[in-house]
């Protein structure tokens, strides 16, 4: 019957054929919940740091079996590959061991083994080779002989990151714009990122904006999530980030309430040479560059990070956006809130239907007798906002210690709501509890007080539990419970899918 490795390879090929697969099979995006999405790539899927999704075992091939000969996979980058990708770092493999240079990659495995190739989250492949895999970020193969692929990797957008290092204010790379630019380049090169970068920084707002690459080309983070859509200006007066720029050059997420330097105005009266203005890296509104105001000279002991943007940029018609998820639990905001729970429920249902969101909706309000999320029938379903971007892997993560991927700051039609929203969730622990004095008497009265959250936040942290003691920073500490206001205030509420 031939040598053992040939039998195993034959069995692997037969198994692939019986399952309806060819020897070389293309797979779509693998979602964080384990289900394969064969359609367009959904950039809101929680990034996977490894490549453990999809098929990685063909038959019973043992990678350490000396009786099975080694075969080589060679990947070459076509002349049409996107120069913005930096081909030497764009591709990974499962099993690991793929060695890449600027011109291609190589991997040796035992014959009959399965291999999954996958790009980094901010890139994809427009062409894996004729008859190999469909365009997309992944390609799965069963290797029985030496195989060569010529692929065309492409960038999904212009990269933006916040530095993994916080720098002392008044020293080092934050002393000047050229020094900050150089530090962004150093951090990008150390992480293996392609291209050159500039810092989102300047001595004045106007000069900082002049320093940003022109044309509003749009920006994505290293996890593939959109930070700034194409055509949106990075300007404190109008900026609405899709996701906060809180992912560093290594793909890690920096702590909530960390700060980044936005302006470095001269400060001749200070012991140090600058008077910086800081932004909050987790903010999704203008506060990401201008929350703090100028830091006083007495705060020269503070440190802050830098925002870095790829420059020069390229033009994209659009950046990766997710589509409707019929199984997700959606949350949005209505401005038609009232003191009555019934009226709030009605407003939520009406606006969800008008926007075409799937499912049934009620107002997400705490009261003295009911747990807020008890109205959600599927707490393990993904939580999304109206533009379909992922807020959390599970609806039950809302109001919990889990930091959201972005802020729940949208109306049902996807327009932004950058303001306060009434919740009734207790200002003090335990999280998620409520009382009559914080819920307008369980939504039966216009007298008394109600607890409000800030929709531009990504954390449910208790107010005051922040690194920056500034009063503005406290307002950015919680999307569910920031402060108590009168029940006669204009009211907005969160609406959430219940079925």
Nearest to 70 by CA among 95, 50, 41: 95
Mean of pLDDT values over 184-204 = 86
What's the DSSP call for residue 2?
-
Supply the DSSP symbol for 376.
-
> What distance in Å separates the CA atoms of residue 126 and residue 420, rounded to the nearest whole number?
43
Q: Return phi, psi of residue 247, to 5°.
A: -105, 130
Domain boundaries, the chain: 4-155, 160-310, 329-497
What's the mean pLDDT in 383-404?
Answer: 90
Distance in angstroms (rounded) separating the CA atoms of residues 220 and 242: 9
3-state secondary structure of 267: coil
Mean pLDDT to the nearest integer, 440-444: 71
- Cβ neighbours, 10 Å, residue 289: 27
104 to each of 98, 110, 153, 465, how far by Cα in Å?
Answer: 10, 20, 11, 49
Q: Which of 179, 159, 169 is nearest to 226 (CA)?
A: 159
Show contacts of 348-356: CB within 8 Å, 24+ apart.
Answer: 348/493, 348/495, 348/496, 351/411, 351/412, 351/413, 351/495, 352/412, 352/495, 352/497, 354/412, 354/413, 355/386, 355/411, 355/412, 355/413, 355/414
What is the Cα gyration radius of the chain?
25
DSSP 126: E
Residue 207: pLDDT over 90: no
The mean-pLDDT minimum among 102-111, 139-148, 335-344, 459-468 falls in 459-468
Whether the predicted pLDDT of 201 surpasses 50: yes
pLDDT-based confidence at residue 399 (cuts at 50, 70, 90): confident
232 Cα distance to chain centroid:
18
Percent of the chain whose pLDDT exceeds 70: 64
CA-to-CA distance for 45 and 32, rounded, in angstroms?
6
Q: Specify the pLDDT at position 223.
A: 93
Non-local CB neighbours of 330 within 8 Å, separated by 6+ positions: 352, 357, 358, 359, 361, 383, 384, 385, 386, 496, 497
**Residue 316 pLDDT class (50, 70, 90 cuts):** confident
pLDDT surpassing 60 at residue 238: no
Q: Give pLDDT, residue 9.
A: 42
pLDDT of residue 29: 33
Residue 422: per-residue pLDDT: 77
CATH class of 329-497: alpha beta
For 275-315, the pLDDT digits (tens) are: 567 777 888 887 787 645 555 555 555 778 899 998 877 78
Q: What is the mean pLDDT of the chain?
A: 74
Q: What is the DSSP code (8-state) at residue 13?
A: H
User: Which of 28 and 249 is assigned the larger pLDDT?
Assistant: 249
- Give the separation between CA 166 and CA 174, rounded to whole angstroms: 10
End-to-end CA distance of the chain: 57
Report phi then psi at 406, rounded to 5: -155, 180
The length of the chain is 499
Residue 364: partners with Cβ closer than 8 Å, 6 or more residues away: 331, 372, 373, 375, 423, 493, 494, 495, 496
Mean pLDDT of 72-81: 84
Q: How confident is the model at residue 129 (pLDDT cuts 50, 70, 90)?
A: confident
pLDDT mean over 400-417:
87
- The CATH superfamily of 160-310 is Mannose-Binding Protein A, subunit A (3.10.100.10)
Distances from the Cα of 434 to the Cαs of 389, 425, 439, 459, 481, in angstroms?
A: 29, 5, 7, 18, 11
Report how far residue 494's alpha carbon sits from residue 385's, in angstroms, rounded to the nearest whole number.
11
| Beta-carbon count within 10 A of 212 CB | 22
Residue 431: the pLDDT is: 45
Long-range contacts of 445-448 (CB under 8 A, 24+ apart): 445/339, 445/487, 446/339, 446/487, 446/488, 447/487, 447/488, 448/486, 448/487
Distances (CA, A) of 197 to 25, 76, 87, 283, 308: 37, 27, 17, 22, 6
Distance, CA of 236 to chain centre: 21
- Reported confidence tier of residue 428, pLDDT bands at 50, 70, 90: very low
Highest mean pLDDT among 9-13, 68-72, 285-289, 447-451: 68-72
- Residue 121 has a pLDDT of 92
Stretch 77-83: mean pLDDT: 72
Q: Which residue has the higher pLDDT, 386 or 481?
A: 386
Q: What six digits make up the tokens of 403?
A: 């930091």
Q: Give the bridge partners for 24, in sequence order.
A: 141
CB distance 290 to 157 below 8 Å: no
Q: β-strand 329-334 against 383-384: which pairing, if any?
A: parallel
Answer whether residue 470 shows pLDDT above 50. no
Predicted confidence band of residue 131 (pLDDT cuts 50, 70, 90): confident
Residue 369, pLDDT above cutoff 70: yes
Q: Write down the pLDDT at residue 436.
A: 64
Do the beta carbons of residue 75 and residue 57 sit within 8 Å?
Answer: no
Residue 356, phi-psi category: left (phi > 0), alpha (psi -120 to 50), beta (remainder): left
In the predicted model, is pLDDT for residue 145 greater than 90? yes
Q: How far apart are CA 258 and CA 166, in angstroms?
A: 9
pLDDT of 479 higher than 60:
yes
Do 448 and 469 touch, CB atoms closer than 8 A? no
Burial (CB count <10 Å: 0-12, 13-18, 19+), residue 477: buried
pLDDT digits (tens, 9 = 90+) for 164-176: 998 877 666 666 7
Q: State the Cα–Cα distance between residues 153 and 136, nearest whole angstrom.
A: 9
- Span 6-46, pLDDT tens digits: 434 443 443 333 333 333 333 333 233 333 332 333 333 34
Contacts of 446 (CB under 8 A, 6+ apart): 339, 440, 487, 488
CB 115 within 8 A of CB 73: yes
Confidence (pLDDT) at 55: 39
Q: Check for a shared fold between 160-310 and 329-497.
A: yes
């Amino acid at each position: 019957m031939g040598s053992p490795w040939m039998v195993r390879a034959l069995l692997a090929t037969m198994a692939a054929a019986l399952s309806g697969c060819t020897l070389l099979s293309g797979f779509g995006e693998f979602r964080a919940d384990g289900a394969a999405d064969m359609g367009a790539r959904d950039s809101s899927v929680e990034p996977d740091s490894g490549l453990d999704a999809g098929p990685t075992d063909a038959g019973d091939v043992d990678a350490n079996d000396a009786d099975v000969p080694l075969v080589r996979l060679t990947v070459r980058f076509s002349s049409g590959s996107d120069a913005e990708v930096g081909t030497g770092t764009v591709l990974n493999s499962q099993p690991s061991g793929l060695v890449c240079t600027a011109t291609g990659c190589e991997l040796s495995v035992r014959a009959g083994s399965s291999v999954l190739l996958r790009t980094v989250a901010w890139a994809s492949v427009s062409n894996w080779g004729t008859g190999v895999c469909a365009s997309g970020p992944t390609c799965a193969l069963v290797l029985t002989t030496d195989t060569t692929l010529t692929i065309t990797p492409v960038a999904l957008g212009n990269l933006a990151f916040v530095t993994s290092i916080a720098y002392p204010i008044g020293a080092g790379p934050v002393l000047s714009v050229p020094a900050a630019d150089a530090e962004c380049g150093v951090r990008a090169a150390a992480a293996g990122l392609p291209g050159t970068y500039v810092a989102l920084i300047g001595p004045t707002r106007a000069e900082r904006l002049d320093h940003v690459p022109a044309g509003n080309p749009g920006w994505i983070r290293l996890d593939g999530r959109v930070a700034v859509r194409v055509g949106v200006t990075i300007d404190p007066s109008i900026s609405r980030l899709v996701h906060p720029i809180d992912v560093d050059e290594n793909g890690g997420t920096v702590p909530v309430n960390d700060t980044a330097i936005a302006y470095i105005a001269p400060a001749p009266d200070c012991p140090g040479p600058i008077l910086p203005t800081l932004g909050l890296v987790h903010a999704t509104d203008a506060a990401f560059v201008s929350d703090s105001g100028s830091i006083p000279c007495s705060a020269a002991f503070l440190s802050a990070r830098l925002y870095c943007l790829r420059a020069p940029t390229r033009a994209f018609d659009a950046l990766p956006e997710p589509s409707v998820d019929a199984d997700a639990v959606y949350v949005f905001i209505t401005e038609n809130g009232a003191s009555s729970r019934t009226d709030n429920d009605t407003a939520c249902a009406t606006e969800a239907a008008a926007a075409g969101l799937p499912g049934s909706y009620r107002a997400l309000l705490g009261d003295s007798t009911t747990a807020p999320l008890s109205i959600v029938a599927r707490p393990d379903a993904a939580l999304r906002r109206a533009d379909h971007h992922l807020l959390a892997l599970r609806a039950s993560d809302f109001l919990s210690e889990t930091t959201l991927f972005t802020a729940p700051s949208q109306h049902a039609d996807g327009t932004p709501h950058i303001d306060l929203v009434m919740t009734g969730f207790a200002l003090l622990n335990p999280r998620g509890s409520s009382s009559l004095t914080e819920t307008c008497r369980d939504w039966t009265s216009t007298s008394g007080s109600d607890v409000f959250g800030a929709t531009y936040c990504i954390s449910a942290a208790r107010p005051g539990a922040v690194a920056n003691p500034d009063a503005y920073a406290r307002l950015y500490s919680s999307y569910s419970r920031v402060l108590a206001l009168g029940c006669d205030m204009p009211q907005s509420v969160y609406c959430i899918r219940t079925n």
